Structure 1
Amino acid sequence: MARRKKVYEGKAKILYEGPEPGTLVQYFKDDATAFNAQKRAIIEGKGVLNNRLSEFFMKGLAQIGVPTHFIRRINMREQLIRSVEIIPLEVVVRNYAAGSMSTRLGLEEGTLLPRPIVEFCLKDDALGDPLVSEEHIVAFGWANQQDLDDMVALALRVNDFLSGCFLAVGIKLVDFKIEIGRIWDGDYQRLVVADEISPDSCRLWDMETGQKLDKDVFRRDLGNLTDAYTEVARRLGVLPQNVTPAQKPKLIN
């Protein structure tokens, strides 16, 4: 693809101008960050895996009628997406207590929650992406009440889909976060799932062993992050199995 103008660069992805109006090219980097970018590393192959996994989940959501920004994958690191107006909130769905919820509420990690719980965090790295209430969101105009109701419904549909995908391959979906954006058609708006869905944005535990298969491997120095993500992709069938390594060409006399 010809070199395009950079629109935005985040911790894990770069957005470039797309080939048509209303589109962007999303490039997945190998950068890994944790604790609001206080911990950083380059993990070879992470971007390729996240690109393929996000494509897998976005296509699956489209098949069940959940709208997303995804159009198509371009190559191993890039995908073509719709340009959306991102709502400045992270939408977190929790099925089990872990991470900050365990810390805040004194719950043992792995505790099954009475029902899936949807939380909202303000997207602001400088503030550490603080937890905010629906009252804050409406009062400060980040979204209106109808948006919030639609976002919760959308997040729970994503949760049902992802939980089923992972359960089928022996993985427990502990929690995940998504971003939601607005697409405008005149005065009419539609909310769509945006950003990415990958082990970067999910907590994934092996159902038998409890082995972590997500970014906590990097956060907590639990092993090789690429191996963990590769295992997720292998189980989901995203990566071909029994691939014969490419051989060097032979000279024929």
Structure 2
Amino acid sequence: MSAPLGIGPLSQESAPLRRKLVATLRRLIETGVLAAGQRLIEKDLTAELGVSRTVLREALRELEADGLLAAGPRGLSVAVLARGEAENIYAVRAALEAVVARQFCQRADEAARDTLTAAHGTLARAYAAGDLGAILDAKLAFYEALCAGAANSVARDLLGRLNARISLLRARSLADPGRKVASVAEIDALVSALLARDAPRAAALAERHVMAAAEAALGPAASSPSHDPETTQ
């Protein structure tokens, strides 16, 4: 039996168990507890999480459909992104976030601006506390507020799928103390531009923030197309 993950059985109090299980496994991947390439052993997971094999398999299928897990000859494992695929995901995400930032400047009403300001404050506090789980939750809320203010649910859904794939690399980026400081400064500048309704500057800052995250996760070559067959662990 592999080493326990130290998370304990899941309760069944409010949300359906499968949804809670998906969220738990997704967070373990995002935070690097389940590392890229790590094989998932069903009997170990069912024993530790206190769920049935049927429920576990349903959750694993959903994560596989999102690209977080990959099937192999020995079963499912945490997916490993090829460098070129990761660069493409970051590039598309950067373009989408630039569009959303521009639209927020053009479309957001005062309520949307207040919601974004509140989400920004929560994110800043999460970064200050250094709680990775809180940072991930706060970033999700921040981008939800940004897309809502931009009145662009299409971009929200697309970004959700892209960010699910990038979560395979997020633990590496967020583990770098220097990147955390830079990320806070980048988001502060972005919010200032958004609230000033400076659409060109907001779009440029949104794109720059994503590409800086890409460089932190992949290295300096992330800003240019790559056909390197090596994979990023």
TM class by shorter chain equals under 0.3
TM-score (norm 1): 0.24
TM-score (norm 2): 0.26
Higher relative contact order (CA 8 A, sep 6+): 2
